[in-house]
Amino acid sequence: MWFTAPPGNLVEPKRGLEHSAKYLAWRVKRDEEVAELRRKRELNEAEKREKERDEMRRKGGELRKEAKVDIEGLKREAVKIFEEQLTDVLVLDYKRRFGENWREAVDTELKRLQDMQAEQAKAKEEMRKAQRERV
């Protein structure tokens, strides 16, 4: 005969092997002490992690300050190199396009650019004046 579950409780639990009241009281007290020690240890570990995090932040701030000086210097150097390369390419382009008259072409282009910038500055100033008048 096949059952999905046993037909009933075939084994009776044995009685008389329970722990004594003294042991059970000691066990509760010990569990409370262990929980208290665990709580204190976790609190100490949290404080230690917080101190380490603060120390890392302080060190990180100092390193960032030192690195920022280097980064700013590197940025300036990179811009300077880029400017030199761009100038070289533009000079070669003007020489190819205009031959021996490349300097005059550069001067003409610079003059046109300065005029455009002056016009833009003038238009910007007029817009500021118009905004002030509206307010």
State residue 17's pLDDT score.
Answer: 64
Q: Is the pTM above the cut of 0.85?
A: no
Span 38-59, pLDDT tens digits:
999 999 999 999 999 888 888 7
Residues 6+ apart with CB under 8 A from 95: 102
What six digits make up the tokens of 33? Answer: 């002490």
How does the average pLDDT of the chain come out, rounded? 86
Q: Are 102 and 91 in contact (CB under 8 A)?
A: yes
CA distance 93 to 80: 20
Is there a contact between 105 and 97 (Cβ–Cβ < 8 Å)?
yes
Q: Which residues of 111-135 are buried (b: 16+ CB within 10 A; e: fewer)?
A: eeeeeeeeeeeeeeeeeeeeeeeee
What is the percent of the chain where pLDDT is above 70?
Answer: 84
pLDDT, tens digit, 9 for 90 and up, residues 60-92: 777 777 766 677 888 999 999 999 999 999 999
Close Cβ partners of 98 (under 8 Å, ≥ 6 residues apart): 104, 105
Give the residue carrying structure tokens 């009776």: 12
**Tell me, what's the pLDDT at 93?**
92
CA-CA distance, 107 to 33, in Å (whole number)?
A: 88
